[in-house]
Every structure is written in structure tokens, then in C-alpha cells.
Amino acid sequence: MDEYDLRRLMIFIRGLLLHRDGPDFKEERPEEHAKVTYRLEQVRCGKDGCTRCPHGPYWYAYWREEGRLRSRYIGKQLPEGAEVT
């Protein structure tokens, strides 16, 4: 397995553990008072020879926290109550 496959396996296993046991780490989420911006983005998978790139569009949330720009993958559907500006 190359590094890309190992990282995908790690993400998959982490998802299984979270689903089974619930989160055991601090997941990055915007603070209650943080201004969140939602964006639709096309994403490249990084596979050599992928003829379907870019993939998506996928929703991402962006916010500032302690002077740093943070982001979080949301998915294909925007959550209820989220406003697009």
C-alpha cells in the first residue's frame, strides 16, 4: 500500500470507531459565536489517471478561531438551518 491508500484506510477505520464508540477526541467545530461561511467546492482525489476529477461539489464550512482559518468538510448536503450568503 502506498501512502495515499494508508491514509484512506486510516480515515475509514477512524470513521468506523467513531460510529461504534462515539467521538473520543475534540472534533473541530466552530464556536457558537463564530461567523461561519459555507462554500461549495470541487475536490481533486489525487489518484493518477482519474478521469472523473474534480469530484463534488461538496460543502465546506470555514471560520476563524484564535487567528487561524479553520475548515470542516460538511458533505453533499448543507445541514438544516445553515444559511448560504
pLDDT tens digits for range 35-84: 888 999 999 888 888 888 889 899 999 999 888 998 888 888 887 877 77
pTM, two decimals, is: 0.58
Structure confidence at residue 31 (pLDDT):
62
Q: Determine how many CB atoms are found less than 10 A away from the CB of residue 44.
A: 10
- Between the alpha carbon of residue 9 and those of residues 1, 2, 31, 48, 65, the distances in Å are 10, 11, 30, 18, 29
For the cut 80, the answer to whether the pLDDT of residue 32 exceeds it is no
CA gap 62, 70 in Å, rounded = 6
Mean pLDDT on 17-21? 69
Each domain of the chain, given as residue ranges in start order, spans: 3-75
